[in-house]
Structures are given as structure tokens and as C-alpha cells.
Structure 1
Amino acid sequence: MKTLTILYLHGLTSSCMSSRGRFLRDLLPKDHILTPDIPLNAHEALRFLSDIVHREEPDVIIGSSMGGLFAHQLPAKKKILINPAFTTSEVMGRYKGLRLRFYHERFDPDEKDFEVTEDLLLSYIEVESEQWKRISEKDVEATVGIFSLQDEVIKQDDLFDKYYRNKIYIEAMHQLSYEEVEAYVIPEIEHFRLCQK
């Protein structure tokens, strides 16, 4: 069976130590799972992630929440968007002027929290305004959206429907549990693996 390189992109207040990243490593021990810390500035994040994709050439990119905003703009044979936050600025805007704490330790242990500044918000608004220009028919075919019916953070399945076709609804909250990753994300990866020559 083919070993896959999988790039997992975490959500806004998460990190390379994300629970979902750890779940993937546990559930797919023979695959190469990459879970980088995403820079806070959206322009820097997209450049950083583009460099990783160019260097590592992942077979699968998985983006959760904010990670979905970036994942769907990057080239891969398979993309899985988990409760994607295509308008991350909408979520961030609720916290403008406040400091948000990271849920998990980042690669830089001194990076414990961040302030939601006007400049940070603007970086997301700018990247969001350009995101749909990068989508090709190949991207449409490669992308599946997984949407939680009880998502308490952001619901963007209607926006997904304007550009993509493959969608799954699940009984879950915004952040998927181990069992939910195993039940809904892993089958998508395994189906993709079987289709590879």
C-alpha cells in the first residue's frame, strides 16, 4: 500500500501540537504527517504553506477551520476541508483588540498568545478576497468538505457549495474528536490511497 505524505493545517488558536494532528499520526502511523505551526499573518501563512507544499509535495492536505481557508488554495491530489472558515476574519473580528491564547503549545514555546489587531484582520480580509481566484476544476474534483451539523463557531457550507461539489454532513461540533476523525476523515484518505497507482 502506498505511503502518503499528509499536510494537516490547524485552526486559528491551535498549533503544530493540534489534537487532530495527533489523531492523524496515531491513526496513520505508516504515513508521513506534517503539522506545521501556521504563521498568524495570512499573507505570511500562505507563503509559508506554499513553500512547504513545493518542498514536500503532499498527496493530501487537510485543513480544519482556519486551516481550510489555506488548504483549499494549495495544490494537492486530495484536499479535505473540515468545517472550513473561508471567512476567518469574521471569527477574528469578534475578538478585535483582545488577546487570544493558543490551545496547544507552539513550536516557539514563548508564543503563548496573540492580539487580534487591525493589521492582522486586514491580512485575512485581503487573502479571503483573493481565495476563489486560485480554484481550478482539478481543485473542485480533489476537494471534499466535512461539515458538522452542530458547529458552534462558523458555518460555511453555503459558501463551499458555490465552488465545490463533494460534501459530507456529520453529527459533530466544530472540533472533531478522535472517533470522528477515525469515522469520517480516515475513510476519505483510505479511499484516495486505494485510487493511487
Structure 2
Amino acid sequence: MSKILYLHGFSSCGEGNKSILLKAYFGAVSVIAPDLPPSPIDAIDTIEEILESTHIDILIGSSLGGYYATYLAEKYHMKAILLNPSTEPWETLASYTGWQKRFCDEEIFEFKPVYLEQLKMLQTAPEQGKYLLLLQSGDEVLDYTKAQSLYNKHKIIVEYGGNHRFENLDEYLSMIEKFINK
């Protein structure tokens, strides 16, 4: 049985729609979905603690979680599935510095300007990992063509339409399963 580590996006939680869907499909014991702290360095530390204590077969990351998954897939030579991944979060999140509210539970947190520098330090090219990208052209938050260009040597599926939340992930679960088991 494969172990999946799901990494949520900015201002989200481990127990969101995508992780609930993944747990329902793959089994609750097969999917780990932690709440990641707002600090990118702390988020990476949290993820690496899980990677060191649990055998993880694959990373699945959405948006900012996709950016983190890329950093870790490169470092640990892992497989990763990325859903509308962020490619330049230090730019796209610049306007979100200050106090924010998480979508999932409305908990308030501070996204500090120094976090943008931390994000830039985590930048890496997708060369060592093995990736499946699921992109939607209707992403209203991120330009899907940036991810399409950055990961052009990897398997990319572009669905025309959709949105940043990738709300029809259920339609891709069998494809995700096949990629995991390859």
C-alpha cells in the first residue's frame, strides 16, 4: 500500500476537500495531510520530519503545496503529483503579506514579508523528481502556462476550463493511482 503525503496550498489546511477526497479513494491510513505553518522554512521542516519518520511513496501538492513538493521531490528524488502548482510564490503571494484568514477554519495567521525571501530560497528546477502535473487553464490565481513551461520535460495534463481549486480532482483519481503505481 502506497503512502501519500498531501501538501495543501496557501491559507488552506491539511483537512480540506482534496485530502478528504484522497483519503476516501486511497484509504485514510494511506494519506497523511498535515496542517502546514505559514513560514515556508517551518513548513519544510514539518514535511521533512514526516519524511524522516514515515515511508512516503509520493507527494501530492496543490498550489503552494506543489511548490513545496517540487523542492522535496528534487531533494529526495521522489515522485510528485502537482495540482495547479505555484512556480513563483514570492511574486504571487507578495500582496498577501500581513494578517490572513485560513479558508478551511477561518483561523487568523500572519504571513510575514520575510516568508517571501524564504520562498525564493526554496526555488529549484524540476530535474531529479518524477512529476505528473494536472493543470487547469481556467486557474484564476496562477498562470498555468508558467508551470507548463517549467515542467515541460514531465507528464502534463492541461484541462481547459476549471479553476485554481481544481474542484473535479475526483475525475483524475485513477490516473493518479496509475502514476503512483508506475
TM-score range (shorter-chain normalised) is: 0.7 to 0.9
Deviation of residue 120 (structure 1)? 2.3
What are the ranges of 5 or more consecutive residues in structure 2 without an aligned counterpart? none
Give the TM-score taking structure 1 as reference length. Answer: 0.80
2:150 equivalent in structure 1 = 162
1:90 equivalent in structure 2 = 91
Runs of 4+ in structure 1 displaced over 4 angstroms?
none
Give the TM-score taking structure 2 as reference length. Answer: 0.86
The answer to whether the Cα contact below 8 Å between 2:14 and 2:35 also exists between their aligned partners in 1 is: yes
Deviation of residue 91 (structure 1)? 2.3
Tell me whether 1:153 sits opposite 2:141 in the alignment. yes
1:125 equivalent in structure 2 = 120
2:162 equivalent in structure 1 = 172
Question: Percent identity over the alignment?
Answer: 24
Equivalenced residue count is: 177
The answer to whether the Cα contact below 8 Å between 2:4 and 2:60 also exists between their aligned partners in 1 is: yes
Give SS of 2:122's match: helix
1:18 equivalent in structure 2 = 16
Give SS of 1:12's match: coil
Larger Rg: 1 or 2?
Answer: 1
2:52 equivalent in structure 1 = 54
Deviations, residues 111-146 of structure 1 (Å, cap 9, x unaligned): 811233222222222223xx23xx444x1xx20111
- Amino acid aligned to 1:190: E
The answer to whether the Cα contact below 8 Å between 1:86 and 1:156 also exists between their aligned partners in 2 is: no
CA distance in 2, matches of 1:159, 1:176: 15
CA distance in 2, matches of 1:176, 1:156: 12
- Amino acid aligned to 1:89: W
The answer to whether the Cα contact below 8 Å between 2:14 and 2:33 also exists between their aligned partners in 1 is: yes
2:66 equivalent in structure 1 = 68
1:108 equivalent in structure 2 = none
The answer to whether the Cα contact below 8 Å between 1:4 and 1:31 also exists between their aligned partners in 2 is: no
What are the ranges of 5 or more consecutive residues in structure 1 without an aligned counterpart? 106-110
CA distance in 2, matches of 1:122, 1:83: 22
CA distance in 2, matches of 1:30, 1:17: 11
CA distance in 1, matches of 2:111, 2:13: 17
Structure 1 residues 76, 17: CA separation in 2 closer, same or farther (over 3 Å shift)? farther
Deviation of residue 42 (structure 1)? 1.0
Give SS of 1:13's match: coil
